[in-house]
Amino acid sequence: MDRLAGQNGVTTGRLYPDTRPFDQRMIDRGDGHQIYVEQCGNPDGCPVLVLHGGPGGGCSPFMRRFFDPAHYRVVLFDQRGCGRSRPTASVEANTTAHLIGDIEAIRQLLKINDWTLFGGSWGATLALTYAQAHPQHVTAIVLRGVFLGMQTELDWFYGGGAGRFFPDLWARFREMIPLAERDDMIAAYHRRLFDDDPAIQARFALPWLIWENALAGLHSQPSSTAPVEYARAFARLENHYFANRCFLDEGQLLRDRHRIEDIPAIIVQGRYDMVCPPRSAWRLSKGWDRCRLTIVPAAGHALSETPIAAELVRTMDELRDSNLKETASS
């Protein structure tokens, strides 16, 4: 989950100025996928990996601006099939396990021993999955808008739960599908997003995107436009992952939380997040002594909402100051 960041009018004064990458490259994974990777900030700084949402959202220059460029070495990449990675919208060899493999390949290629993970929505899912698989390479975890990849969360968003708050928008999303198929909207859209006819794919990609984007921010306004190729990649990839339950066992990230309980974690969660309601963040944090949950009032899901962005910048500055104190005392 999570469409393009930086679209909902955040107060730019709370963010760091945009910095140009000092390194940009394509990594050939040898299975038909090429992954776009960039690095910004201080080449000798504390490494932080940014994990974008979706699946299929891609990273953007806006995502560089949460980190003090004098302190952090910021690594961003476009996940398989989206953004500048190639091939666009491909679901071949595209699973959560493949993405975890890509992250490890990036870490090894860049000669990074350990790093902080920074991810929201689906990016939070991926951060937790990676950390549980490779806890020895993670120094801290910063999450926003927690999504655990569970059936209850998918039922909320695609089974009518969120539609109770947005009945008009939910009706538009459903009216694209014949009445007989509306009991499983993910499956119904899947049949059309993966039709052999590209025109049919494009026709159903936009309403899939509009439904999520309209609910992303507390003050979001529904939009009926988006670049066709972006909408197609986002909708196909997200639907592919959700149709396959994110390639995770049900409840896996809660079940395996013990693997990362020694790692400090901070969760920033909008009180009125309609895409990823606060219950998942609460369940994840409960009983995790090294995890701090901050519920932001008057905020929804979007990374670009002013209260969410401000709290994330404050969090990363707090980690920076903690790192500097540890360095000075050692």
Q: Report pTM.
A: 0.95
Query: With bands split at pLDDT 50, 70 and 90, how would you rate the model's confidence at 222?
Result: low
DSSP 3-state of 97: helix
Amino acid at 246: C
Domains and CATH numbers, the chain: 12-149+248-329 (3.40.50.1820), 152-245 (no CATH)
State the DSSP code for 163. G
DSSP 3-state of 189: helix
Condensed to tens digits (0 to 9), the pLDDT of residues 289-306 reads: 999 999 999 999 999 999
Does 301 qualify as catalytic in the annotation?
yes
Q: Would you state the pLDDT for residue 327?
A: 72
Q: Is the pLDDT of residue 324 over 90?
A: no
Q: Is the pLDDT of residue 247 over 90?
A: yes
Does 285 qualify as catalytic in the annotation?
no
Identify the active-site residue in 60, 90, 121, 304.
121
Identify the active-site residue in 71, 190, 240, 301.
301
| Beta strand pairing call for 46-51 and 72-77 | parallel
Residues in the chain: 330
Average pLDDT, the chain: 94
Phi and psi dihedrals of 143, rounded to 5?
A: -120, 155
Identify the active-site residue in 2, 68, 102, 273.
273
Does 71 qualify as catalytic in the annotation?
no
Beta bridge partners of 26: 36
